């Protein structure tokens, strides 16, 4: 029983980690007042570039960096169109996803069916030998530890640093921020690139650890779930972590349903994460006041200094 | 330094020119992409844009592919005008296909005239039902329709996969995940013998005209446009925001549903685990490329249909991956969004002060 429980928790962690990365990145982007709906596309770009690098170099570290850069490149495209050329953020984000699906499929054409041994787990000396706790807490790969550090760092940055205050003020009122002499466009560029890097790492995790191989459209809507997680978290990093683990738990239910003796067709079990996303969105969004108090006030609005 | 200067009025000329510029830029980048892939450029160009439409059959196929794109694109563009972002048309299409197929299978081998109309009705209701969920959640609970409509697309795809491998599977089909082949009374009439062109193409033209009439000649169309351009003005004029959300989503769902039926009762002729090559998503590009105007959508639908055919033809003759189509479609939308800046801004040289 203990073994099964530990295994379950480990798979939840694996399922939640890509969501944590993608969602924490998008959270920062949205706090800066930008709505990037292209998370799915950036994740796929990260996943395929990461896997290709891992396949050709054999280095997990290089693969993660490649995934990060791929996500940033996609984000740069989005930032240039929306921030420099004033295009609609909603439309551009959708375009980024459609483009990412196609481009990643094209790049990954020759990579389908190849396996990768996965990232090595970093066993922390002494601690990882502890019974139960060692396996649960101290023997993961570097990206799992990184995800917790990242969430803490983002929470600290947003709430405790001057730069974080600047970023939030740009997201809450770009006109006021501009009047104060803050570089609205520059801040938004940086935030968007950060979001792209995070989504790219999230994608890397999918192709390097979660599966670990490349398959067309393998993110299967996780980019969109990450967007929903930001709403679920009402733009607070701590709640986001909670949400990602909740979703991780639900998405692996289908793997364990059979073992638990639940005899439901696999397709219906696979619907759970998507249906849960909708239900959770309903629970959070119905409280209009709460959304209004927490959502960045100028989210999705274009900014041009002359208007 | 180059800078953008806001125009006093949006440029009408650029409104028409921007899609053409975007198309040319996409073509050039496409050729660059082919060069990068090591494919001879002129052969690739020929395979992608000329070969597919050089025969009558090819032209008919263009109509087959364009019909669903135009039908959905017109409905989406009406919704986008009102700032209602229904991006789950793919799911609504699937539900329409399922509902229509359910009627066809229920009346299996009933050779009556009413089977097809009933299937069409069922598909409209199926698509509307799927679209009514985001509408209800948006109007009642303030839930973002982008996320809900998209999540429901995944649910719809899984539902279809379950149905064709379970309840709606062909009993004599050796356990393959597909339904029975529809009988003749449940198949769409063909317009041209020897081709797959079906009456969906005519319906698409009808939808273009109806969409244009709705947007430009009716109060409802006016309300939709005002709501999109200036929501507060719309609210002052007494247009109910919630009602417009419902209209936009139901319209999108209904049209996507019919498009789904036209696939299963047209070129496919049965229910399969996969009934659309992403028409519901491509229709989003079609709507934008067509400038959110029904007549523009018609042309945009033909262009996008050609990109599907070109991708297939390039796959056969040049062994290019089918994913090239998606890259093309994404690039076109990017260039379009980028060139749109020319409508409201002019490019000037920044003076150093």
Pair of tokens at residue B165: 């491998």
Q: Which residue has the higher pLDDT, A157 or A210?
A: A157
Cα distance between residue A63 and residue A70, in whole Å: 10
Of A85, A96, A281, the CB nearest to B147: A281
Residue A215: which of B323, B158, B155 has the closest Cα?
Answer: B323
Of A99, A220, A285, the CB nearest to B144: A285
A109 and B323 within 8 Å at the Cβ level: the answer is: yes
Classify A262 as helix, strand or coil. Answer: coil
Check if B340 contacts A (Cβ < 8 Å). Answer: yes
Of B137, B282, B288, the CB nearest to A91: B288
pLDDT in tens, A243-274: 999 888 888 877 777 667 777 888 888 888 88
Residue B30: which of B18, B45, B46, B47 has the closest Cα?
Answer: B45
pLDDT for residue A38: 92
pLDDT in tens, B127-177: 999 999 999 999 999 898 988 999 999 999 999 999 998 888 888 878 888
Nearest chain B residue (CA) to A219: B154
Cα distance between residue A97 and residue A74, in whole Å: 10
A281 and B148 within 8 Å at the Cβ level: the answer is: yes
Q: pLDDT band at residue A189, thresholds of 50, 70 and 90?
A: very high
pLDDT for residue A48: 94
pLDDT for residue A307: 53
Contacts of A221 in chain B (CB under 8 A): 150-151, 154
Pair of tokens at residue B342: 């020319």
Tell me: pLDDT of A209 over 80.
yes
Check if A129 contacts B (Cβ < 8 Å). Answer: no
- Across the range A75-102, mean pLDDT stands at 90
Of A106, A271, A288, the CB nearest to B321: A106
Residue B310: which of B94, B33, B122 has the closest Cα?
Answer: B33
Alpha-carbon distance A61 to nearest alpha carbon in chain B (angstroms): 28
Look up residue A213 and give its DSSP letter.
B
- Domains of chain A, residue spans: 2-111+140-294
Q: Which of residues 64-93 of B touch A (CB under 8 A)?
A: 85, 87
Instruction: Please give the sequence-ordered ranges of beta strands (E in DSSP) within A82-133, or none if there are none.
Output: 121-123
B287: alpha, beta or left? (left if phi > 0; alpha if psi -120 to 50): alpha
B238: alpha, beta or left? (left if phi > 0; alpha if psi -120 to 50): left
pLDDT in tens, A36-88: 999 999 999 999 999 999 888 888 888 999 999 999 999 999 999 999 888 88
Computed from CA positions of residues A303, B1, B5, B10, in that sequence, does the dihedral angle turn out positive or negative?
negative
What residue ranges of chain B have pLDDT lower than 50? none
Of A99, A231, A265, the CB nearest to B327: A99
Q: Which of residues 214-243 of A touch B (CB under 8 A)?
A: 216, 220-221, 224, 227-228, 231
- Highest mean pLDDT out of A22-26, A205-209, B57-61: A22-26
Tell me: pLDDT of A141 over 90.
no
Tell me: pLDDT of A183 over 80.
yes
Neighbours of A124 (CB within 10 A): 15
Contacts of B338 in chain A (CB under 8 A): 81, 85, 87
Largest CA distance in chain A: 65
Neighbours of A11 (CB within 10 A): 17
pLDDT for residue A129: 67
Cα distance between residue A186 and residue A190, in whole Å: 6
pLDDT for residue A192: 95
What is chain A's mean pLDDT, rounded? 86
Q: pLDDT band at residue A124, thresholds of 50, 70 and 90?
A: low
Pair of tokens at residue A291: 């959304």
Tell me: pLDDT of A100 over 80.
yes
Of A224, A275, A304, the CB nearest to B155: A275
Residue B104: which of B188, B183, B162, B164 has the closest Cα?
Answer: B183
What CATH number labels A2-111+140-294? 1.10.3470
Pair of tokens at residue A149: 């550090």
ipTM field = 0.88
Contacts of B341 in chain A (CB under 8 A): 85-87
pLDDT for residue B35: 84
Check if B337 contacts A (Cβ < 8 Å). Answer: yes
Residue B242: which of B168, B141, B173 has the closest Cα?
Answer: B141
Q: Which residue has the tokens 């924490």?
A: A24
Check if A265 contacts B (Cβ < 8 Å). Answer: yes
Residue A34: which of A227, A281, A233, A243 has the closest Cα?
Answer: A227
> Would you report the helix, strand and coil content of chain A in percent, each value rounded to 5?
75, 5, 25
Neighbours of A305 (CB within 10 A): 12
Residue B306: which of B332, B275, B280, B337 has the closest Cα?
Answer: B332
Contact B180, B163 (CB under 8 A): no
Check if B318 contacts A (Cβ < 8 Å). Answer: no
Q: Which whole-number Å values give the CA distances from B102 to A220, B275, B295, in the listed order?
A: 27, 14, 33
Tell me: pLDDT of A152 over 90.
yes
Q: Which residue has the tokens 């709430």?
A: A159
Please report how many Cα atoms fall inside a 13 Å half-sphere around the Cα of residue B308, on the Cβ side.
24
pLDDT for residue A258: 67
Give the helix/strand (H/E) hosting A140: strand A139-141
Cα distance between residue B141 and residue A281, in whole Å: 9
pLDDT for residue A305: 75
Question: Quick one: A62 exposed, middle or buried, by C-beta within 10 A (0-12, 13-18, 19+)?
Answer: middle
pLDDT for residue A262: 72
Tell me: pLDDT of A126 over 80.
no
pLDDT for residue A36: 93
Pair of tokens at residue A95: 């375009």
Check if B32 contacts A (Cβ < 8 Å). Answer: no
Residue A20: which of A208, A174, A237 has the closest Cα?
Answer: A237
Contacts of A103 in chain B (CB under 8 A): 323, 326-327, 330
A221: alpha, beta or left? (left if phi > 0; alpha if psi -120 to 50): left
Of A85, A102, A285, the CB nearest to B330: A102
Give the helix/strand (H/E) hosting B345: strand B345-349
A·B CB contacts under 8 A: 141
pLDDT for residue A154: 94
Alpha-carbon distance B231 to nearest alpha carbon in chain A (angstroms): 14
Cα distance between residue B18 and residue A55, in whole Å: 41
Cα distance between residue B130 and residue B114, in whole Å: 24
pLDDT for residue B67: 95
């Amino acid at each position: 029983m203990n073994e099964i429980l530990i295994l379950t928790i480990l798979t939840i962690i694996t399922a939640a980690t890509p969501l944590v990365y993608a969602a924490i990145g998008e959270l920062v982007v949205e706090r800066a007042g930008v709505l990037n709906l292209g998370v799915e596309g950036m994740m796929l770009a990260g996943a395929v570039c990461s896997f290709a690098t891992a396949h050709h170099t054999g280095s997990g570290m290089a693969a993660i960096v490649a995934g990060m850069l791929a996500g940033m490149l996609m984000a740069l495209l989005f930032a240039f169109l929306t921030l420099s050329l004033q295009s609609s953020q909603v439309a551009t984000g959708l375009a980024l996803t459609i483009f990412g699906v196609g481009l990643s499929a094209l790049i990954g054409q020759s990579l389908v069916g190849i396996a990768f041994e996965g990232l090595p787990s970093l066993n922390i000396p002494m601690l990882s030998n502890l019974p139960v706790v060692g396996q649960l807490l101290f023997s993961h790969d570097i990206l799992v530890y990184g995800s917790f550090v990242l969430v803490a760092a983002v929470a600290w940055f947003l709430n405790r640093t001057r730069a974080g205050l600047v970023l939030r003020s740009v997201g809450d009122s770009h006109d006021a921020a501009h009047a104060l002499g803050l570089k609205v466009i520059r801040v938004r560029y940086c935030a968007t690139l950060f979001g792209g890097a995070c989504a790219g790492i999230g994608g890397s995790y999918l192709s390097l650890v979660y599966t670990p191989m490349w398959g067309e459209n393998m993110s299967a809507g996780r980019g969109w779930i990450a967007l929903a997680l930001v709403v679920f978290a009402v733009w607070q990093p701590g709640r986001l972590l909670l949400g990602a683990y909740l979703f991780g738990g639900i998405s692996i239910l289908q793997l364990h349903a059979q073992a638990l003796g639940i005899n439901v067709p696999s397709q219906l079990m696979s619907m759970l994460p998507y249906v849960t996303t909708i239900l959770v969105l309903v629970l959070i969004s119905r409280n209009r006041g709460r959304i209004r108090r927490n959502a960045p006030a100028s989210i999705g609005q274009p900014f041009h200094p002359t208007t | 330094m180059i800078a953008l200067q806001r125009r006093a009025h949006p440029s009408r000329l650029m409104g028409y020119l921007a899609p053409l510029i975007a198309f040319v830029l996409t073509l050039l980048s496409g050729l660059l992409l082919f060069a990068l892939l090591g494919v001879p450029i002129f052969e690739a160009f020929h395979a992608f844009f000329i070969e597919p439409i050089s025969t009558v059959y090819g032209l008919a196929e263009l109509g087959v592919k364009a019909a669903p794109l135009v039908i959905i694109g017109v409905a989406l563009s009406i919704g986008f005008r009102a700032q209602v972002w229904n991006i789950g048309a793919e799911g609504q299409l699937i539900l329409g296909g399922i509902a229509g197929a359910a009627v066809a299978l229920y009346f299996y081998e009933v050779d009556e005239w009413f089977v097809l109309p009933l299937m069409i009705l069922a598909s409209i209701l199926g698509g509307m039902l799927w679209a009514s969920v985001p509408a209800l959640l948006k109007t009642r609970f303030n839930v973002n329709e982008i996320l809900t409509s998209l999540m429901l697309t995944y649910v719809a795809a899984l539902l279809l996969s379950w149905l064709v491998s379970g309840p709606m599977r062909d009993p004599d089909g050796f356990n393959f995940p597909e339904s029975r082949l529809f009988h003749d009374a449940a198949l769409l009439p063909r317009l041209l013998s020897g081709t797959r062109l079906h009456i969906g193409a005519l319906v698409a033209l009808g939808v273009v005209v109806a969409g244009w009439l709705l947007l430009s000649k009716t109060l409802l169309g006016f309300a939709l446009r005002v709501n999109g351009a200036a929501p507060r003005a719309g609210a002052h004029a007494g247009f109910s925001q919630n009602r417009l959300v419902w209209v936009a989503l139901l319209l999108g769902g209904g049209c996507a549903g019919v498009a789904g039926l036209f696939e299963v009762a047209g070129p496919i002729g049965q229910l399969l685990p996969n009934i659309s090559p992403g028409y519901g998503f491509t229709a989003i590009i079609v709507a934008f490329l067509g400038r959110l105007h029904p007549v523009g959508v018609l042309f945009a639908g033909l262009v996008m249909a050609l990109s599907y055919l070109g991708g297939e033809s390039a796959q056969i003759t040049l062994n290019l991956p089918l994913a090239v189509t998606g890259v093309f479609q994404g690039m076109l939308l990017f260039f379009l969004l980028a060139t749109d800046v020319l409508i409201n801004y002019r490019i000037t040289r920044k003076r150093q002060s």
